[in-house]
Structure 1
């Protein structure tokens, strides 16, 4: 009878030293492992983009799975992976090693020993996405403390030659004053008028205290002011108003635009066209993707989505 046998790789410790007992355990290399557990300084590449260079601890997950980079939920979140979208991350301790490929479908982690590069590939839908034109709130500037004063003044002097008509003067002053102190804005709009034969009169049109509420993307107003007249007539009020402020949103989130979803089989180029014109283009990793930062357009027409795979094939819908 004949039997097929496959020989396994074996390192003879005697090749390294005369005393084999003085040679480290080489059995892990016989199983195809290229490194030993420990801390290595590596370039971290997320979806073909270097995001950091840091010390990464490589540990033996199990004898069968071998050695892998210990990526914690906290470190993945800092790299830009949307860990909140996957419940399995919430069940792990923040310092526990997360097996990325088992938690996120189509994800992979590869260590390039020669270049000391930890290459992480996750679907685009699993990446924290910032809309085009987005500026992080921590980079917003409240401005400087200041006193503001704006005014307009007009007046007239009437002289009549007829004895039956009276001569007279009339004056009008409009004042817009304010104080900026940290995030707070104090504003006042007042008028003053005087005409011959009448007493001078001051009128307070509006006085309010205002500040931005960044987490809510809105503005808080306290005092006398007017409602916005975007859809209905503006109405004066005295009280408190909390209103949204579209100026805090990126341009791509102002107005309506559809969300485009799909699945890429490889590193692919995504092109979106409307009426024959390319309005958006990006690149995604294998797996599901979602594009939610299209600029709203005034023209009508269906969107054509083209997925050009790494091999050259093109799918459209």
Structure 2
């Protein structure tokens, strides 16, 4: 969260948050904290920029105070299951053809549930073209992080990543 420091807002970064963000606290000598245990940033080498439009905080730190990174996977201390939530994305279209006098409908729904470490995702569509009606589920899968083995488990219908080759659909499970 942000708090008012004199005439400006400043992020409240606790010692624990800085450790989670990869800052080597032992390299920051003489850190000062306020009564809420937030680091007084004006007395530290840390600089920040806040972008209100996309609600992102960019924290800049000298490389000498960064914790070494051993792998491409984020440290499990910063893994966060987040909150339980329901997500919904949708799209709807209607078209009337004056030439043939036909109506066409298309609807797409993309629900999601976050429950503990699990993420359930689906993409389904419905269309009515002339007299042909069609319902289709592009994918439905459940996914979660596995901290102990620093992996992600996916179960259900999904597509492979397109990092190297074209994406292909699969039904089953994957462990990345």
TM > 0.5 fold call: yes
Q: Quote the offset at 1:158 in angstroms.
A: 1.0
Structure 1 gap segments, 5+ residues each: 1-46, 51-128, 161-165, 244-317
Q: Identify the residue that residue 206 of structure 1 maps to in structure 2.
A: 139
* Equivalent residue, structure 1, for 2:69: 131
Q: 2:127: which partner in 1? A: 193
Choose from 133, 152, 155 the match for 1:219.
152
5+ residue gaps, structure 2? 1-25, 30-66
Which of residues 147, 150, 156 is equivalent to 2:95?
156
Output one character per residue of 1:159-199: Cα deviation in whole Å (capped at 9) or x when no partner: 13xxxxx310011112111110000001111110002222x
Q: Deviations over 1:264-290 (max 9, x none)?
A: xxxxxxxxxxxxxxxxxxxxxxxxxxx
Kept after mapping to 1: 8 A contact 2:76/2:150: no
Give the distance between the partners of 1:48 and 1:139, measured in 2 at CA: 20
For the residue of structure 2 that corresponds to 1:215, the secondary structure is helix
Q: Which residue of 2 aligns with 1:6?
A: none
Match of 1:143 in 2: 82
Structure number with larger C-alpha Rg:
1
CA RMSD of aligned residues (A): 2.7
Count of residue correspondences? 113
Secondary structure of 1:138 counterpart: helix
Residue pair 2:90, 2:107 contacting (<8 A) in 1 also: yes
Length-normalised TM-score, structure 1: 0.33
Deviating runs (4+, > 3 A) in structure 1?
Answer: 47-50
Say which structure is richer in strand. Answer: 2
Cα drift, residue 229 of structure 1: 0.8
2:103 maps to what in 1? 169
Q: Deviations over 1:222-242 (max 9, x none)?
A: 000011110011111100101
Q: CA deviation at 1:49?
A: 8.1
Cα distance in structure 2, aligned partners of 1:144 and 1:173: 28
CA distance in 2, matches of 1:215, 1:190: 33
Residues 1:180 and 2:114 aligned together: yes
The Cα offsets for residues 123-176 of structure 1, whole Å up to 9 and x where unpaired, read as xxxxxx6329x975234321110111101111101113xxxxx31001111211
Who is 1:233 aligned against?
Answer: 166
TM-score, scaled to structure 2 = 0.57
Deviation of the 1:214 alpha carbon: 2.4
